[in-house]
Structure formats: structure tokens, C-alpha cells
Structure 1
């Protein structure tokens, strides 16, 4: 995977993360079920961590 591809994936995941955070805030306001969104957010955080590690390896 190239540096550009990794950076693109990171950008996409960050956008998805922000969207999910916004949805989570809305659900908290109306007392909705939060666990599915919290799980998705945790998965995105893991994937971002993995991609950032790959990016560091590519840059070295």
C-alpha cells in the first residue's frame, strides 16, 4: 500500500468517525441505543491506529 493510499484511507475513516460521533450525540439526546455506534467507533479507532502505524513504517 502506498503512502497516498494510506493517507486517503485515514481521511475517509476520519470523516466516518466524525459522522458517527454526530449520530451518537443525537442518539444520546433522545436516549437511543448507543452500543452499535460505540462499537463502530471503536473499530474505526483500531483501524486508524493500524493505518497510522503503516504510514509511519512507509515514511521510514
Structure 2
């Protein structure tokens, strides 16, 4: 990936991350605790992906 592609992937992943955070808040408010745990695991995966992409960008 070149710099522009990495920056785009990072921006897209950040938008997805924020969206998932909102979804988690809605699940918590409606009492769906079981689904919250799964959603939090997805957030953790996204955080790892962001870290990897940011590292690749820094290495350029």
C-alpha cells in the first residue's frame, strides 16, 4: 500500500470504529449485555488493525 491508500484505510477504519462505539452504547442502553461483549471484541480487533496500519504509515 502506498501512503494515500494507508491514509484512506485508516480514515475508513476510524469511521467504522466510531460507528461501532455508538452501536455499543445503544446495546448497553437497551440491555443487550451479551451482544456488547461481542461488539467490544470487534473494537479491540479494529484497534489492532489501526495500530498495524499506523505502523506501516510510519515506516514509509
The TM-score, its normalising length taken from structure 1, stands at: 0.93
2:5 match = 5
2:38 match = 36
Q: Deviations over 1:15-39 (max 9, x none)?
A: 0000000000000101112111111
Q: What 5-or-longer segments of structure 1 have no aligned partner?
A: none
Q: How many residues get paired?
A: 58
Q: Deviations over 1:4-56 (max 9, x none)?
A: 00000000100000000000000010111211111110000000000000000
Q: What 5-or-longer segments of structure 2 have no aligned partner?
A: none
2:54 match = 52
Following TM superposition, the consecutive aligned residue runs of length 4 or more in structure 1 with deviations greater than 4 angstroms are: none
The RMSD of aligned alpha carbons is: 0.6
